[in-house]
Amino acid sequence: MKLIKKWTDDLRYLPYNQWDENYQNFLLETVQHSPWRLNYHIQPESGLLNDPNGFSYFDGQWQLFYQVYPMGPVHGVKSWAHVSSKNLVDWKTEGLALLPDSDYDQHGVYSGSGIVIDEELVLAYTGNVRDSNWQRASYQMLAHMNKAGEIIKDKVPIIPNPPEGYTHEFRDPQVFHYQDNYWLLIGAQTEELEGKVLVYSGPSLETLTFEGPLAFSDQSMGFMVECPNLVFVDEKPVFLFCPQGLDKAIMDYQNIYPNTYVVADSFNTDSLSLSNPSSLMNLDHGFDVYATQAFNAPDGRALAVSWIGLPEVDYPSDSEGWAHCLSIIKELQLHDGQLYQKPARELVDLRQEQTAIGGELSQTPRTIVEKTENSYELKLDFSANSQGKLHLYADPRGDHSLTIDFDTKNGMITLDRSQVSNAFAQDYGTTRTLTIEKNAPLSLQIFVDQSVCEIFVNGGQAVLTTRVFPTETETNVSIEGKSGDFSGKTWRLRKMIND
Ligand code: FRU
């Protein structure tokens, strides 16, 4: 048996129950043998994972869903898969939760959110349907999960059509409760092909009315906005979204589509605006973050999780029957009006043996951690006059690595994946540069997990996320530099327990 190489539309939209069981078993088996499988990140059992959905806290547990196409590493007919957790670290596989099995979602149960109402977790999603001419229809749907984990989909949509003047590129409802009303934000496109976010509100999710577009920027957001997501951090709105086709003069970016945000003073429900919004900012300065979803947890935190992967880009693990993963859980905070993203505090639970490291930077590369198994956390502090390179996924000869170029004198960090094995997406550039404060110390907190790396800069002021697909020998950490010194710690990180 072989993996499928040529994915036609017919194959991608074939109902799951028409797939041969032998093929499915073969696929699962192939995926299990992939050397790039992850230890503590949520990943698909087979096929393709994309957006996180329905992130919530219900029945004493964290609930998280994600977009999945289980039959191969392509965007086929999507479902929601479900995982749950008691500690935000170990995620139990609950299986497929919402299947594309009704007239309102037969070509995909697309992205959405979750909200606890009374004794239920209510899931809001987009039903994607194609007609015989492959024209899209989008329906906004609800499903209800009870405490036994049983999920029942509503029979009819809560929003059966986009409002007048908008196309059927209309999806990813975020539902929340605010000032005694229910609200729904949704990604949309005008008939003039401009990306918008639309607002609905009402006394219940079943009785929403269309209010109008959300005003959050004076600029044009390209041809489509996906995955709008409003959270409140210290009462201030932080609005996350994914504009497609955004003019780079508005915000510079190199990924095919960026995941962006604005921070505002308040959400003005009368004028449907975010007051005094910041300029548009890039949520992640690395290569691979999209569709981040955040929610206000009952414990007061704003928790976020991202899709690590991008639309319309091929990845090396495709050849092993799977693609993409979710990020670790991040806490959003505001300090002096600036957004910070920190690894959720629960992640310390992954830490195993600890090693201290440090010294002066010198021109000859020095291995500071050898044979890591590529499952570790690394915290490093650099002095204010440091210039050098940190190599992750380094092979013993120093031919290959993921390089972090740091220059605290001139205030720059460059993440360079030009020297990694199994390079991909090179059309979008092989480096990402971030400016940091000049002549100031620098701290890095890095999570490496086999084929994914998340780098938190200066306590979460910026994050750079990237996939890397190393060969077996690329497991060292080494450092070199012209000036400065560094000190820090590393921990081996355990696997998550997923049952
Ligand atoms: C974003 C997205 C969403 C859509 C989902 C389909 O990655 O395109 O807009 O709901 O993926 O899987």
> Which residue, judged by its Cα, is nearest atom 8 of ligand 1?
226
Dist CA 345 CA 290 (whole Å): 22
Residue 380 has pLDDT above 90, yes or no: yes
Q: Mean pLDDT throughout 351-361?
A: 97
Q: Using alpha carbons, select from 392, 380, 490, 491 the residue that is nearest to residue 441.
A: 380
Dist CA 151 CA 481 (whole Å): 56
Residues 101-134: tens digit of each pLDDT: 999 999 999 999 999 999 999 999 999 999 999 9
Dist CA 342 CA 136 (whole Å): 38
Q: Which amino acid is at 42?
A: I
Give the global pTM. Answer: 0.98
Q: How many alpha carbons lie under 13 Å from residue 88 in its C-beta half-sphere?
A: 21
Q: Which amino acid is at 268?
A: N
- Ligand 1 centroid to Cα of residue 266, in Å, is 28
- Ligand 1 centroid to Cα of residue 51, in Å, is 6
- Ligand 1 centroid to Cα of residue 75, in Å, is 9
Residue 499 has pLDDT above 90, yes or no: no
- Ligand 1 centroid to Cα of residue 226, in Å, is 7
Residue 266 has pLDDT above 90, yes or no: yes
Q: Mean pLDDT throughout 57-71?
A: 98
For residue 51, indicate whether it is catalytic: yes
Among 125, 170, 172, residue to substitute to test ligand 1 (most atoms within 8 Å of Cβ): 172
Sheet strands (E) in 103-145: 109-117, 120-130, 136-145
Across the chain, how many H-helices and E-strands are there? 2, 36
> Which residue, judged by its Cα, is nearest atom 6 of ligand 1?
110
- Ligand 1 centroid to Cα of residue 108, in Å, is 10
Which atom of ligand 1 lies at the shortest distance from residue 51's CA? 7
Dist CA 219 CA 381 (whole Å): 38
- Ligand 1 centroid to Cα of residue 42, in Å, is 18
Residue 273 binned pLDDT confidence (cut-offs 50, 70, 90): very high
- Ligand 1 centroid to Cα of residue 289, in Å, is 13
Q: What percent of the chain has pLDDT over 90?
A: 99
Q: For residues 49-77, b (16+ Cβ closer than 10 Å) or e, as one string?
A: bbbbbbbbbbeeebbbbbbbbbbbbebbb
Among 48, 80, 138, 171, residue to substitute to test ligand 1 (most atoms within 8 Å of Cβ): 171
Q: Using alpha carbons, select from 314, 331, 441 the residue that is nearest to residue 386.
A: 441
Q: Which of 51, 288, 407, 449 is catalytic?
A: 51
Residues 292-306: tens digit of each pLDDT: 999 999 999 999 999
Sheet strands (E) in 154-244: 171-178, 181-189, 195-202, 209-213, 224-233, 236-244
Q: What residues does ligand 1 touch, defined as CB less than 6 Å away?
A: 50-51, 67, 78, 110-111, 126, 171-172, 226-227, 290-291, 311
Residue 271 has pLDDT above 90, yes or no: yes
Q: What mean pLDDT value characterizes the chain?
A: 97
Dist CA 350 CA 72 (whole Å): 30
Q: Mean pLDDT throughout 183-193?
A: 98
Residue 310 has pLDDT above 90, yes or no: yes
Which atom of ligand 1 lies at the shortest distance from residue 187's CA? 9
Residue 75 binned pLDDT confidence (cut-offs 50, 70, 90): very high
- Ligand 1 centroid to Cα of residue 318, in Å, is 19
Burial class (CB in 10 A: 0-12, 13-18, 19+), 96: middle
Q: Mean pLDDT throughout 150-164?
A: 98
